[in-house]
Structure 1
Amino acid sequence: MPKRRNLSIEERAAVVTLSEEGYSCRSIARRQKISLCAVQGILRKKSETGTVKDKSRSGRPRATTAREDRLLYRTSLSNRRATSRLLKRALQDSTGCHVSSSTVRRRLNSFGLKGCVAAKKPLLTEKHKKKRLEWCKERQDWTQEESGYEGEATKDTILIVLLQR
């Protein structure tokens, strides 16, 4: 059985208009390139409800409004390390909206923000900082030939080339 395609409001309105102009259901179906049953269904719907628009769909209403979603987004951007639980509490305090942390994650995901764990890396110790400074001071007055860098060079570009080695 083929899948039905939903006709747009304009297509349905065209069917109703053609019917009001006196065309038969069969000729409307041929002219609009839709099935006879579809034409009959549209005309039946128009006579019963007075409109050809779809009824509102069933389903659970959203827990947050678009404004609350934007607030979550802005809060998340202002504090990139905030967890979904912290963002949930912030939303609850500012708007009184009670949502779960998974709802917060879904809303942020819809904005393209995905949670991740920050990479662990050791911090620089005082010993590391001193060694770096010594290394840079030793090479501070190097010429372009000494650095091995070819091209237009400044002290900054020479230092960058040396750091990359």
Structure 2
Amino acid sequence: MERSGRPCATNEEEDHLLTDAIVADPFQSAEIIREALSLTVSSETVRRRLSELGLQSFVAAQKPCLSDSQLQERVVFATAMKDWTK
């Protein structure tokens, strides 16, 4: 039975490549994945296809670097608390 609507811009092979790419590195953006796989679809289509496959990309948390004094304080604290259960 024919289905109505426009056909998908990607085929099953491209969908499989998208899945492999996002599983290998979940922190890649849709734009980077699209360029790496040389797909002729928009990055929005890549995002949509990943969403349909139940996958998503992630953004790494931006954590501030610890200063030298903070690192030293952590060492002092850890040393003082290493035997806290005894």
TM bin (shorter chain)? 0.7 to 0.9
> Is the CA contact 2:28–2:57 (under 8 Å) kept in the aligned structure 1?
no
The one-letter code of the counterpart of 1:70 is H
For residues 143 and 76 of structure 1, the distance between their equivalents in structure 2, rounded to whole angstroms, comes to 43
With normalisation by structure 1, the TM-score equals: 0.45
Relative contact order, CA 8 A, sep 6+: which one is greater?
Answer: 2
Paired residue total: 86
The one-letter code of the counterpart of 1:103 is T
In structure 2, the partner of 1:140 is: 82
The one-letter code of the counterpart of 2:68 is E
For residues 71 and 124 of structure 1, the distance between their equivalents in structure 2, rounded to whole angstroms, comes to 39
- Mind listing any 5+ residue stretches in structure 2 that lack a counterpart? none
Secondary structure, counterpart of 1:113 in structure 2? coil
For residues 21 and 57 of structure 2, the distance between their equivalents in structure 1, rounded to whole angstroms, comes to 14
The answer as to 2:11 corresponding to 1:65 is: yes
Q: CA deviation at 1:58?
A: 3.8
Q: Which of structures 1 and 2 has the bigger CA Rg?
A: 1
For residues 84 and 45 of structure 2, the distance between their equivalents in structure 1, rounded to whole angstroms, comes to 57
The one-letter code of the counterpart of 1:125 is S
Describe the superposition over 1:77-101 as per-residue Cα deviations: whole angstroms up to 9, x where unpaired: 2222211111111121xxxx41111
With normalisation by structure 2, the TM-score equals: 0.78
For residues 143 and 57 of structure 1, the distance between their equivalents in structure 2, rounded to whole angstroms, comes to 66
In structure 1, the partner of 2:23 is: 77
For residues 24 and 67 of structure 2, the distance between their equivalents in structure 1, rounded to whole angstroms, comes to 29
| Larger helix percent | 1
- Mind listing any 5+ residue stretches in structure 1 that lack a counterpart? 1-53, 145-165
* Identity, % of aligned positions: 40
Q: Aligned pair in 2 of structure 1 residues 143, 57: CA closer, same or farther (>3 Å)? A: closer
> Is the CA contact 2:21–2:33 (under 8 Å) kept in the aligned structure 1?
yes
For residues 118 and 109 of structure 1, the distance between their equivalents in structure 2, rounded to whole angstroms, comes to 19
